[in-house]
Chain A
Amino acid sequence: MQINKVYVAPGLPKSIVELKKRYGNYVGGKFVAPVKGQYMEDISPTTGKPFCEVAKSTPEDVELALDAAHAAKEKWGELPLSERAKVLNKIADAIEANEEMLAVAESWENGKPVRETLNVDVPLAADHFRYFAGAARMLEGTISEIDKDTVAYHMHEPLGVVGQIVPFNFPILLATWKIAPALAAGNCTVVKPASSTPWSILKLMEVIGDIVPAGVLNVVTGPGAEIGKALATNPRIAKIAFTGETVTGRLIMQYASQNLIPATLELGGKSPNIFFDDVMAKDDDFMRKAVEGFVLYAFNKGEVCTCPSRALIQESIYDQFMAKALDSIKKIKQGNPLDTNTMIGPQVSTQQIQKIISYVDIGKQEGAKLLIGGEKAKMEGDLKGGYFFKPTVFQGNNKMRIFQEEIFGPVIAVTTFKDEPDAIRIANDTLYGLGAGVWTRDGTRAYRMGRAIKAGRVWINCYHAYPAGAAFGGYKISGVGRETYRTVLEHYSQTKNMLVSYSEKPLGFF
């Protein structure tokens, strides 16, 4: 990990990130001005000030992107897999070659610390393209012998043109989670980034745009109510993929039902992170790893769908464990996200920080005990207008709203449990089922817990790892479908069956 480096903000002299005054949509292999010529400001969460403009698109721009995608789909869909894989691998190479630049852009866009974008977001994005380049080539059809002379062939065919809506918390990485499998399976895509983080993906297009044939990959920026809806309701998409909030997810599915197309949804979570007493059995690396696992709620300032925002600690170790955790939280360095020493940056927008403040108020009213934080962090100089919130810990019980709703900020709600059945009961007492963490030195207990928790991803003795090749997705109201795993290619493919008779004899019916 690089230390003691402060990157210059994009657009300033000597910054490694070139910044234009305004950006159009990326459609048909080039940047184009929005049809109606309207633009919106992109605000840096670090300063609270606008730093560039992006297209404030209208439904006409979505149609143009769909025109480009439909014009490209036949050729792209019929390209040999080896050629498609080559494109994906070249994308990965280009991301790697521009890793530092993209990491700084992503940090400035979203407010996430550059140490995260350098070590997590951007390298994972590159690897994701490589994983799906490989996975697509492993995708095989089947041949079944129905009887001696009748054979069923099954082949994968692309869906055609898909719509993909990306959230603000990992603008580049979560776009990659969607783009890589869609392209690998032979589809063209129209991507709509979150309206609060539209720019960094356009920087990604500057890096990878020329590698992909024109029209295969398109990005349209603009407000969700207009552009997101124009894309999700469009009869010219064959599938919609969405990551975001539950009510919007429901609406997306409703739109998909009208078009009779599949929808995959990755929605919210309220992930439990469970610490059994044996983590404190020794004062060793594993114990320190577990404490760090608790503090990971502050990763990406808590703006993660799988944020371990509920900590369940066995009551016998509660005091001991929390003393260490709070000690570690006190040492969190908050500040300019472009400083490699910074551990937590600003929340993504003024809207998000307002919601966090409102939840802290609710927590207090509910009678939860505030152990640390609970207020905006006062910053100086250029950072004065930024959306900084102090890492916060509440102690309470699982029935409270702060234990049941996703706060999407650096706020953790802590409670205790007696024994294993109690831990399972509390862990599953939630509407969500996206992620969970289990920390124990007992392997069989870890396995039992992993199976008992109703969530799509259970981390055992680790947390917040997102490698390509491990399936990610939700149980319960946390979503439909999976990402980051080869089976995603099925979500982006049709199954073609050819049922062939090799018999020359008539059926004999007529």
Chain B
Amino acid sequence: MAATKPASETVSVAATPEALAAISQLLKQHKGVAFFQSGGCCDNSAPMCFEDGEMIIGKVDRLIGMVGGCPYYMDFRQYEVYKNNRIILDVEDGDADGFSLPAGTEGRHFVTRAKVCTPNLCNV
């Protein structure tokens, strides 16, 4: 089941140059990658990065945007909570959470920051 594009643009995603560099590094090792916004427990806001196809995209997933040519998904229920957020994908030191791939090189992981804003004032 293909995910649907959000009806409105109230949640968006962007990536820092460092995150984009990590993605292109990953694309040399994998056929493609996809991001899933984590929701709860120990990894809370972590962006989970998997090889393309690792996670089955379902009806519950909303595509909120593309980063470095790779899709970024979020559970439709979470989408409601994230409205008016612009998610910024970035990279920090430390191993990746859960089953997520590292941010390009080992010992680096993807993180998210957020800009809470109105749709018109979200030009980060």
Contacts and interface: CB of A to CB of B under 8 A. Distances in A.
Contacts of A361: 113-114
A269 B41 contact: yes
Contacts of A229: 99
Residue with the highest number of chain B CB atoms closer than 10 Å, among A244, A248, A254, A303: A248
Contacts of B78: 431
A224 B98 contact: yes
B82 A245 contact: no
Contacts of A407: 44
Contact of A350 (B56, B77, B85, B94): B94
A244 B99 CA distance: 11
A223 B101 CA distance: 10
A254 B56 contact: yes
A270 B81 CA distance: 13
A194 B113 CA distance: 24
Contacts of A408: 41-44
Contact of A355 (B36, B45, B77, B115): B45
B29 to A, nearest CB: 12
A349 B96 CA distance: 12
A335 B43 CA distance: 24
B101 to A, nearest CB: 6
A225 B55 CA distance: 13
A223 B44 contact: no
Contact of A358 (B55, B94, B111): B111
A224 B39 contact: no
A401 B99 contact: no
A404 B79 CA distance: 11
Given A250-B55, A404-B81, A351 B41 contact: no
B40 A246 contact: yes
B116 A365 contact: yes
Contacts of B94: 349-351, 354
A247 B93 contact: no
Interface string A156-182: 000000000001110000000000000
Nearest to A399: B81
Given A228-B99, A401-B85, A431-B77, A246 B41 contact: yes
A358 B113 CA distance: 6
B62 interface: no
Nearest to B112: A358
Interface string A215-226: 000000001110
Contacts of B114: 358, 361-362, 365, 401
Interface in B16-63: 36-46, 48, 50, 54-56
Contacts of B93: 350
B41 A405 contact: no
Looking at B96, B99, B115, the one whose CB has the most chain A CB atoms below 10 A away is B99
Interface string B90-110: 001111111111100000010
A183 interface: no
A227 B38 CA distance: 20
Given A245-B40, A358-B114, A401 B81 contact: yes
A168 B78 CA distance: 24
A408 B46 CA distance: 12
Interface in A341-389: 349-352, 354-355, 358-359, 361-362, 365-366
Interface string A199-234: 000000000000000000000000111001100000
A251 interface: yes
Contacts of B101: 225
B56 A268 contact: no
B45 A225 contact: no
Interface in B60-92: 75, 77-78, 81-82, 85, 92
A455 interface: no
A195 B98 CA distance: 9
Nearest to B47: A247
B113 to A, nearest CB: 5
Contact of B36 (A225, A247, A401, A406): A247
Contacts of B38: 245-248
Contacts of B44: 245, 268, 355, 359, 405-408
A196 B77 CA distance: 30
Nearest to A478: B40
Contacts of A246: 38-41, 75
A243 B114 CA distance: 27
Contacts of A268: 39-41, 44
Interface in A257-298: 267-270
Contacts of A223: 95-96
B45 A269 contact: no
B43 A359 contact: no
Contact of A431 (B37, B39, B95): B39
B45 A169 contact: no
Identify which of A196, A247, A254, A352 gathers the most chain B CB atoms within 10 Å of its CB: A247
Contacts of B41: 167, 243-246, 267-269, 305, 406, 408
B115 A365 contact: yes
Contacts of A365: 114-117
Interface string A387-412: 00000000000010100111110000
24 contacts: A196-B95, A223-B95, A224-B96, A224-B99, A225-B96, A225-B100, A244-B43, A244-B98, A245-B46, A247-B37, A247-B43, A248-B97, A250-B55, A254-B56, A267-B41, A269-B41, A351-B46, A352-B42, A355-B46, A358-B113, A362-B114, A401-B85, A407-B44, A431-B81
Given A267-B40, A405-B81, 15 more contacts: A225-B98, A244-B41, A244-B42, A245-B44, A247-B36, A247-B37, A248-B38, A350-B92, A351-B95, A351-B109, A358-B114, A401-B114, A405-B45, A406-B40, A431-B77
